[in-house]
Amino acid sequence: MPPIVLLVEDDRVLRDLITLSLSRVDCRVIAADDGEQALALAQEHRPQLVLLDILLPRLNGFEVMRQLN
């Protein structure tokens, strides 16, 4: 089973590029474009790795990481 990666990035082009790159190395990518969505997806999918942008709308990356712990 491929690892689940939660990618949190508000720039659509960058999010798509990273998703494509990770998919090519057999990762299952779950993508969010803001902090609130990231928290909901993390709870639902329990990712093995989180790639988290710091400057996000709604909740910034620092707040998201605090709530994930």
Stated pTM of the model:
0.94
Q: In this predicted model, what pLDDT tens digit does every residue of 43-61 receive, in sequence order?
A: 999 999 999 999 998 899 9
Q: In this predicted model, what pLDDT tens digit does every residue of 3-35 receive, in sequence order?
A: 999 999 999 999 999 999 999 999 999 999 999
User: What are the residues whose beta carbons fall under 8 Å from the beta carbon of 30, sequence distance 6 or more?
Assistant: 4, 5, 6, 7, 41, 45, 47
pLDDT greater at residue 45 or residue 1? 45
